[in-house]
Chains A and B, each alone.
Chain A
Amino acid sequence: MVMEKQRRQAADWVYGGVWRVLTDWFKVPHAGDAPTLPARSGEMLKQFRPADGWLRMVKFLFWLFMWIPDVAILAGWIAVTVVLPILGVILAIPALAVAVLPDVFVYVGIHLKYDTTWYVMTERSLRIRRGIWIVHEMTISFENVQNVSVRQGPVQRYFGIADVVVDTAGAGGGGGGKHGSTMVANQGIIEGVENAQEIRDMILARVRESRSAGLGDEEHHGEHVVAATQKLGFTQEHVMVLREIRDEVRGLAKSA
């Protein structure tokens, strides 16, 4: 038990140190420093991260696949040692480093990715922050959303999480590049959340409410039409007074 506690403390200390370096030297935003969106007073503002299930899933996948390169390196090292024992001894430490170091980096990277991924939602828009070396933030207003979908693979289902994909008509499908498939220019991906359906329904409700096609047309088109007819159409009262004016003019014309 004591060992476990010490191990955990050491891990926290190392991870804290990594974060210190990142924030102080590399100016990565602090883990707790969530992005925000300018919201009206009383407007809903939700800041959230991927669910714990996402972290568990990525770690599960990590343990599932990490041994493959390690076993390959071990097999290679054993083969070398059998043929040339001296070379095997010399290569022991480099081989161990090659096998273990990438695993450590990936493992720390998983935690860093989890800690640096943020989603912010208001009633009107969505902001996604991702990335450590290149910090990328994208902002979408729901008015511009073309399509919302939920996707879930079998492993994600086991961990009770899903992705919400929010598409806009923005330029550059596939040209996003820099952050791989999770940072396509016109697509906001809310990765690894437990309430994916709920988020989807919320965004969809907003999209249905909107009367525009999300392509730069004037919002609430219907209201403008109503306003225009009101502008031209007189009320009953106006018509009555106009009739009286007509009658007066007729009377004038007769008496003239």
Chain B
Amino acid sequence: MEHEEQHYEPFDPTKATRPDPALLHYYIIVSLFTVFAFPFVMLAMYFKFRSLRYGFDEKGISMSYGILWRKEMYLTYRRIQDIHVTRGLIQRWLGLASVSIQTASGTAGAEMTIEGLKNPEALRDFLYLKMRGVRDVGHEHGAKASEGGASAAVVSGGADDEAMGLLREIRDELKRIRASGGVK
């Protein structure tokens, strides 16, 4: 697959496990707006920041946070309906963004909101290229054939000949055995 030139580094799913420290700054600023509730909100936000973990694997994204009240989520790339990137003023100053992922479930809000990752555009492109209708179907089949081994090999054109060759060999062996007077 060839894509337009990108002016940012491609997203590395193996490194994106913890939010950037800038997210903590963002949380501090946001909780300052709550004035009197600041200590409580800040504490909750701090716990969230400390426990926030992301994981991007072959099939989907996992996200978990919380110390006393834990929340763990997993969703597959294929079920992504739409991707929203929202950048408020403070987030833009800190180079952050909220990447919200919608699935077809009935909940009102976004299914998963990934915040605190630098380079949100790269993350979005990464997710976008895994969305249904965007991935190359041909590419997908290629990937399956390579990982699926023997069963996938039957589907492709070259393997048909291999099966054919095997059948011919069996036939010829049998012929030879019969010609030499059968199995003794």
Contact = CB atoms under 8 A, between A and B. Distances in A.
B131 interface: yes
A198 to B, nearest CB: 20
Nearest to A37: B128
Given A143-B131, A186-B82, 20 more contacts: A27-B92, A38-B4, A38-B6, A39-B4, A40-B1, A45-B4, A124-B133, A125-B133, A137-B85, A141-B132, A144-B81, A144-B82, A168-B81, A171-B81, A186-B81, A210-B133, A216-B104, A216-B132, A241-B167, A252-B177
Interface string B88-123: 110011000000101111111111000000000000
A230 B4 contact: no
Contact of B155 (A135, A230, A245): A230
A20 B92 CA distance: 16
A206 B125 CA distance: 21
29 contacts: A27-B89, A125-B131, A125-B133, A125-B134, A133-B88, A134-B86, A138-B84, A140-B82, A143-B132, A144-B81, A170-B82, A170-B104, A171-B107, A171-B108, A171-B109, A174-B108, A185-B109, A186-B102, A215-B79, A227-B155, A235-B160, A238-B163, A241-B168, A244-B171, A248-B174, A248-B178, A252-B174, A255-B182, A256-B182
A124 B93 CA distance: 32
Contacts of A169: 81, 104
B172 to A, nearest CB: 9
A4 interface: no
A178 to B, nearest CB: 8
B18 interface: no
A111 interface: no
Nearest to B183: A256
Interface residues of B, number: 58
Interface of A: 26-28, 36-41, 45, 124-125, 133-144, 168-175, 178, 185-186, 188, 210, 212, 214-216, 218-220, 223, 227, 230-231, 235, 237-238, 241-242, 244-245, 248-249, 251-252, 255-256
Contacts of A172: 102, 107-110
Interface string B9-35: 000000000000000000000000000
Interface of B: 1-4, 6, 76, 78-89, 92-93, 100, 102-111, 124-125, 128-129, 131-134, 136-137, 151, 154-155, 160, 163-164, 167-168, 170-171, 174-175, 177-178, 181-183
Contacts of B3: 38-40
Nearest to B108: A175
B175 A242 contact: no
A136 B182 contact: no
B133 A245 contact: no
Given A37-B128, A185-B102, A216-B104, A136 B167 contact: no
A204 B154 CA distance: 36
Most chain A Cβ neighbours within 10 Å, of B76, B103, B168, B178: B178
A248 B171 contact: yes
Contacts of A134: 86-89
Contacts of B110: 171-172, 185
Contacts of B182: 252, 255-256
Contacts of B1: 40
B79 A216 contact: yes
Nearest to B85: A137
Contacts of A216: 76, 78-79, 103-104, 132
Contacts of B128: 37-38, 125, 139, 141
Contacts of B81: 140, 144, 168-171, 186, 214
A245 B137 contact: no
